Structure 1
């Protein structure tokens, strides 16, 4: 029995020496453990290492977290950084790598770990600027990148961090036709994909809200321009009625003049009201159309493979007997 205990302690000491560059640092949290906790720590280390070697990185993360809670040894931070990096959780990996370097400033692996951190942070910076956002109606569609064999990336609405390049996206939702799109993602841009989902045996749902349609600001602009054109017309009619009323006021010989005067005043008031109303409606429609158009131009609503939406040029020139404003761009 005594020989068995010696073997256990010898194995434990050897493992702890591999875990830490400094045995003196490692000894303090280890010495505070009970015999049962020391045995549990050995089991956690063995199981976590085996899980990592088998590619079961999530299990390794859970085991190394438990081991660190039991004995806060710096090496567990490094192992957690490795496991998180293999899981693709780069931000968490950097956190644990830095925590390890702070706990072990003289670590032999410092140079290599710092180089790894630099590579990961560069990757994170690129991902922060380059992505594909997939939005569907209804929501909850499964999104695959490349092929189904590569695994589902998530469900809509979702934003996928990707490297610049061309991607094949597959969007699936039960009861709807499968949608496949080729998406070109430029460096430093977020491409928004709004695939129209077609019910099986039905019609496609609109992939844009009515407010994102170009016809809305165009229609508002036409209405506003028409109202503004009618403003001077109504004003002219009102002025004619006022002039007619003035002439009538000079002749006060008959009762019929009073009746005509009343009718002319009503007509003048009507045209004055129409003048004000046309001006208000025209100004409001033009302003709303302009604001909506600007919102649509600035909205990041580029489709798959489409060039970035935006305003390229504005021009003013003759349009029949009047002057028109022209816009050029992708809307």
Structure 2
């Protein structure tokens, strides 16, 4: 790789001078209008550049990088981009070094260093490519979707797949419809090509003989409400029967010439009210259970689930009494 020159102090002084000169007459040194610096800012700029060059010559490249970056923030002169690139190169930050070298060439396309810098960029790009790690992923069956780290990040592709990747730890997720999802955490070293192969297991399929239709939520709720209506109708019928017996007793008293009790009219109203509630509750129970049954039988959307063999059966059967005034709910097991 072309070596980066150790710039002597005289050249550093020339760099400082060129930047300072650019403040007065930028010309080709600074394509845009330079910022106006106060006397104290000019002194700070000179100090940062001299400190950065001194640190660079001592091999303290992290310090030199900080000094040159601070100087560039104070005054964005193109020559400082070159110094920043040199520091990044010495630190092994190849990607950043390439970026700053290219920025420098863009700002100073006529620089005499152009040929050497372009050659350095080629060397750094090759070195960067050699450091690149790769994940090679295969699956049986093929054409499975591969995710790296999280599915929310989107799929990386389908198997067989080769993914350029930075060194580090990753979670590989392989998914295919009809097969169980595979997840694995892998460690990829710098420059390593890690090959992964997965045999996907099929998901269990339900057989007709091992399935049953579960009672779905909608029809179940409707049936439950209908049963409650039936219970209410039964309770109403009990009150209706008691009021009827009471009225028969009162009518027998009247036939014997005795006056009717004071609660006769109230008892008669109760009989009418509970009689109506009996019919309404019974009708709701029968209608609700019928609707729930039809809903269940005519909806093909309900799924199946495997259960063990069981001879137990369940049925809800509404029935009206012989006198036509009652509702009976039968549970059979």
Fold match by TM threshold 0.5: no
Shorter-normalised TM range: 0.3 to 0.5
TM-score computed with the length of structure 2 as normaliser: 0.37
Task: Kindly name which structure, 1 or 2, has the bigger radius of gyration based on alpha carbons.
Answer: 2
Q: Which has the higher helix share?
A: 1
